[in-house]
C-alpha cells in the first residue's frame, strides 16, 4: 500500500512539475510582433482632426509629424485551452513633431485564471459596446488619450451566470492607476500662476455590464451597465478662491494617497480643499450608463445603443431629464464587399442639468445643481492625460488651447457622426469618417455665436498577397468650419506584423486533468 501511494504521489508530483515547466515554456510561444512607420503632412491651423483623435494619444495638432513604432505581445487568449493563461506586451514609439521624443505606449502583463484576469501595466483597451474602428468614441473612457498604468481586476469577456443556460452573462472590472503627465502639465502651464495644474494624481475606474439573451436560441440580446472613473489624490497648484465663505485657499494642496482617498474614489464621498461651503465629492468623478440592443440576423447584424454621461452625482439617476446622450446605430453586412459596416451616432452634451445654478439658503432651502461644466474640474483642470481628453475627442482637447490652460472650452456640443467601412477585394479595405459638430463653448465661457466643425477622413488600406503581414495605409483628412479652422492633408502608414514561435496545438482543448498531465508529459519527453 505504501509503495502504491508513493508511486501515485510521485506521478502527481512529476505531472505538476511538468505542467509548471510547460506553462513557463508557453510564455515564449505565440508571440506577435508589429512594426509601424507613420508620417503626416498638412496645411492650415491644425492637423486634420481624425489624424489626431482616437489614436491612444499617438497624435498631435502639428501639421507635420510621424513616428516609428515597434511592439511585441502575447495575448492571454492564446491559452484558451488552459485554466491559467498568460499575456504580456511592450510597445515603444519614437515620434517626431509630437510632444515627446520617446513614448512608452504599452508595457503590461496579464495573468488569468479561468474567466478572471489580473492585468498590470499600461495597455491600450478597446471601447465598451462600440465599434472601435468607426465610432466617434466614448463619453467617459475612450481611446483618445495615452493609456494609464494601472492594476486592473477584470472579467474581460462576458461570463455566463451559472444556472441561466447562457441567457444571462456579466462583464466587469475594477482598476486603480496613476497619471504620468507631470512633466507635460508643468511645461504646458509654462509657469502660469493663474491656471490649474496637478501632479502625481491617481486614477480609479470600475464598470459592470449585464447581458440578457442567448444568440444561439434567439437573435435579440440586450446589454446594459454602468462605468465610473475618477481622478484623485496627488498635488494641485493655483487653486482659486471661492466666493462662498471659503476663505483664502493656499495655492498648493496635497490631496494625499492614503486609504481614505482610495476609499472615497471607490465610494464617492468627501470633499475637495476648495469646495467651499457646498461640498460635492472628492476628486474628479464622472461616468456613463450604457445600453445596447443587438440583433443577430442571417448573414447580417444590427445594433442600436445609447450612452448617458453624468458628472459627479448630477444626472447620475433621474434628478434631471437625461438629455446629454450618445445615440448610435450600426449595421454590419459581412457578405457585402462594398459596404461592410455602416454606423451613425448623434452626440449631445449641451444641457448639463440646465443653465441655472443656485445654492440652498435658510430662506430658500431648495438647491439647483446645474451648470455641470462637463470634463472640467476646479482642482485637476480637465479630464485629460498629456493634453488629450480621455473621453470623446469631440470635446476639444486642452492640447489645442493657445492660452496654456488645461481646460475644455467646447464641452457644450451637438454632433452627427458617420462611419463606413468595407473590403471591395481581399487585399483592399477602406474606412470613411465624417463628423459635423456644433459647439456652444461652456456655460461660463460661451461662444458669441455657435462654432461649427466638419471633420473628414478617407482611408484606404492595401495588404499585398506577395508578403503576408505587410500593410500600406493612405489617408486623406480635412477640417472645415470655425471650430478648428480649415486644413487638409495626407497620412501614410506602413506596418508589418508577424508571429514568433507559433504553437498551433496551444489552442486545442485537452479533456480532463489527467489527460492534460499525460499529454504535456508526452510533449516534454518528445522534445
pLDDT digits (tens, 9 = 90+) for 311-332: 877 677 766 677 899 999 999 9
Helix (H/G/I), strand (E/B), else coil: 84: strand
Same domain, 93 and 142: yes
CB 357 within 8 A of CB 367: no
Predicted local distance difference test score (pLDDT) of residue 128? 92
Sequence-distant (≥ 6) Cβ neighbours of residue 365 within 8 angstroms: none
- Reply yes or no on whether the pLDDT at 115 is more than 80: yes
Predicted local distance difference test score (pLDDT) of residue 81? 85
The proportion of the chain whose per-residue pLDDT surpasses 90, expressed as a percent, equals 66
Predicted local distance difference test score (pLDDT) of residue 365? 57
CB 131 within 8 A of CB 143: no
Integer Cα distance of 144 and 53 in angstroms: 6
Place of cell 465661457: 445
Same domain, 2 and 139: no
Q: Phi then psi for 184, rounded to 5 degrees? A: -60, -45
Predicted local distance difference test score (pLDDT) of residue 414? 97
Integer Cα distance of 301 and 477 in angstroms: 29
Residue 259, CA atoms < 13 Å, CB-side half-sphere: 0
State the average pLDDT over residues 323-350: 94
Integer Cα distance of 369 and 352 in angstroms: 10
Which of 438, 454, 373 lies closest to 411, judged by CA? 373
Integer Cα distance of 369 and 88 in angstroms: 45
Integer Cα distance of 265 and 248 in angstroms: 26
* Alpha-carbon 110 to chain mean position: 17
Domain limits at 275?
30-502
Cell of 287: 461616468
Burial environment of residue 318 by CB neighbours within 10 A (0 to 12, 13 to 18, 19 or more): exposed
Residue 514 binned pLDDT confidence (cut-offs 50, 70, 90)? very low
Predicted local distance difference test score (pLDDT) of residue 241? 52
- Reply yes or no on whether the pLDDT at 243 is more than 50: no
How many domains does the structure of the chain reveal? 2
Residue 100 binned pLDDT confidence (cut-offs 50, 70, 90)? confident
Same domain, 193 and 340: yes
Same domain, 455 and 518: no
Same domain, 10 and 44: no
Predicted local distance difference test score (pLDDT) of residue 35? 97
Q: What is the domain-level CATH number for residue 376?
A: 2.40.160.130
Own/partner long-range contacts of 480-483 (Cβ < 8 Å, ≥24 apart)? 480/453, 480/454, 480/455, 480/456, 481/437, 481/451, 481/452, 481/453, 481/454, 482/451, 482/452, 482/453, 483/396, 483/410, 483/437, 483/439, 483/451, 483/452, 483/453
Integer Cα distance of 372 and 354 in angstroms: 8
State the average pLDDT over residues 455-484: 96
More confident residue, 67 or 298: 67
State the average pLDDT over residues 383-400: 97
Same domain, 132 and 174: yes
User: Which of 63-77, 362-376, 438-452, 453-467 has the least mean pLDDT?
Assistant: 362-376
Same domain, 112 and 22: no
CB 91 within 8 A of CB 73: yes
More confident residue, 388 or 283: 388
Helix (H/G/I), strand (E/B), else coil: 514: helix
- Reply yes or no on whether the pLDDT at 12 is more than 80: no
Same domain, 9 and 45: no
Element (H, E) at 491: strand 487-500
State the average pLDDT over residues 165-178: 97
Cell of 122: 499600461
Predicted local distance difference test score (pLDDT) of residue 92? 97
Burial letters 188-219, b for 16+ CB under 10 A, else e:
bbeeeeebbbbeebbbbbbbebebebbeeeee
DSSP 506: G
Integer Cα distance of 518 and 514 in angstroms: 6
Same domain, 446 and 461: yes
Sequence-distant (≥ 6) Cβ neighbours of residue 261 within 8 angstroms: 202, 232, 233, 255, 282, 283
Same domain, 22 and 163: no
State the average pLDDT over residues 414-430: 96
- Reply yes or no on whether the pLDDT at 507 is more than 50: no
- What's the predicted TM-score (pTM) here? 0.87
Strand partners, 341: 332, 421
How confident is the model over 116-167, as pLDDT tens digits? 999 999 999 999 999 999 999 999 999 999 999 999 999 999 999 999 999 9
Task: Tell me how long the chain is.
Answer: 527
Same domain, 141 and 43: yes
How confident is the model over 244-277, as pLDDT tens digits? 444 566 778 888 888 888 988 888 765 555 444 4
Same domain, 9 and 122: no
User: Which of 108-117, 168-177, 257-266, 417-426 has the least mean pLDDT?
Assistant: 257-266
- Reply yes or no on whether the pLDDT at 360 is more than 80: no
Q: What is the dihedral of CA 104, 67, 36, 25, to 10 degrees?
A: -20
Predicted local distance difference test score (pLDDT) of residue 315? 75
Predicted local distance difference test score (pLDDT) of residue 144? 97
Amino acid at each position: 500500500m505504501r509503495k502504491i501511494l508513493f508511486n501515485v504521489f510521485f506521478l502527481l508530483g512529476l505531472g505538476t512539475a511538468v505542467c509548471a515547466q510547460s506553462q513557463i515554456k508557453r510564455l515564449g510561444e505565440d508571440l506577435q510582433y508589429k512594426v509601424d512607420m507613420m508620417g503626416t503632412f498638412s496645411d492650415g491651423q491644425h492637423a486634420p482632426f481624425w489624424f489626431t483623435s482616437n489614436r491612444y494619444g499617438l497624435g498631435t495638432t502639428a501639421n507635420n509629424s510621424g513616428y516609428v513604432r515597434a511592439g511585441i505581445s502575447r495575448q492571454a487568449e492564446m491559452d484558451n485551452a488552459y485554466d491559467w493563461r498568460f499575456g504580456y506586451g511592450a510597445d515603444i514609439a519614437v515620434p517626431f513633431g509630437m510632444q515627446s521624443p520617446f513614448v512608452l505606449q504599452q508595457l503590461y502583463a496579464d495573468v488569468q485564471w479561468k474567466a478572471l484576469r489580473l492585468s498590470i501595466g499600461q495597455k491600450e483597451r478597446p471601447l465598451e459596446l462600440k465599434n472601435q474602428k468607426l465610432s466617434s468614441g466614448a463619453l467617459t473612457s475612450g481611446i483618445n488619450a495615452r493609456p494609464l498604468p494601472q492594476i486592473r481586476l477584470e472579467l474581460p469577456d462576458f461570463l455566463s451566470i451559472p444556472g441561466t443556460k447562457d441567457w444571462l452573462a456579466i462583464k466587469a472590472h475594477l482598476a486603480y492607476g496613476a497619471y504620468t503627465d507631470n512633466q507635460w502639465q508643468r511645461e504646458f502651464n509654462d509657469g502660469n500662476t493663474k491656471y490649474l495644474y496637478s501632479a502625481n494624481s491617481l486614477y480609479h475606474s470600475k464598470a459592470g455590464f449585464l447581458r440578457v439573451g442567448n444568440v444561439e436560441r434567439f437573435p435579440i440580446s440586450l446589454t446594459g451597465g454602468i462605468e465610473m472613473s475618477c481622478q484623485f489624490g496627488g498635488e494641485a497648484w493655483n487653486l482659486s478662491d471661492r466666493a462662498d465663505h471659503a476663505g483664502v485657499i493656499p495655492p498648493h494642496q496635497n490631496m494625499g494617497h492614503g486609504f481614505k482617498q482610495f476609499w472615497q474614489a471607490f465610494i464617492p464621498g468627501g470633499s475637495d480643499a476648495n469646495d467651499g461651503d457646498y461640498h460635492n465629492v472628492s476628486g474628479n468623478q464622472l461616468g456613463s450608463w450604457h445600453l445596447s440592443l443587438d440583433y443577430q440576423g442571417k448573414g447580417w447584424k444590427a445594433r442600436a445603443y445609447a450612452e448617458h454621461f453624468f458628472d459627479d452625482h448630477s444626472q447620475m439617476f433621474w434628478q434631471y431629464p437625461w438629455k446629454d446622450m450618445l445615440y448610435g446605430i450600426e449595421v454590419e453586412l459581412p457578405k457585402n464587399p462594398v459596404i461592410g459596416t455602416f454606423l451613425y451616432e448623434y452626440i449631445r452634451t449641451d444641457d448639463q442639468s440646465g443653465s441655472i445654478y443656485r445654492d440652498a439658503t435658510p430662506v430658500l432651502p431648495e438647491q439647483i445643481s446645474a451648470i455641470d461644466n462637463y470634463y472640467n474640474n476646479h482642482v485637476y483642470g480637465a479630464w485629460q492625460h498629456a493634453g488629450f481628453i480621455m473621453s470623446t475627442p469631440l470635446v476639444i482637447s486642452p492640447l489645442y488651447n493657445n492660452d496654456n490652460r488645461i481646460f475644455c472650452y467646447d464641452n457644450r456640443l451637438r454632433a452627427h457622426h458617420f462611419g463606413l467601412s468595407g473590403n471591395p477585394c481581399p487585399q483592399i479595405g477602406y474606412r470613411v469618417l465624417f463628423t459635423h459638430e456644433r459647439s456652444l463653448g461652456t456655460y461660463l465661457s460661451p461662444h458669441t455665436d455657435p462654432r461649427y466643425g466638419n471633420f473628414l477622413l478617407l482611408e484606404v488600406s492595401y495588404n499585398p498577397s506577395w508578403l503576408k503581414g505587410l500593410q500600406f495605409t493612405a489617408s486623406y483628412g480635412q477640417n472645415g468650419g470655425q471650430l478648428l479652422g480649415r486644413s487638409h492633408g495626407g497620412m501614410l502608414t506602413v506596418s508589418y506584423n508577424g508571429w514568433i514561435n507559433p504553437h498551433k496545438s496551444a489552442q486545442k482543448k485537452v479533456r480532463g486533468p489527467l489527460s492534460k498531465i499525460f499529454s504535456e508529459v508526452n510533449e516534454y519527453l518528445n522534445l
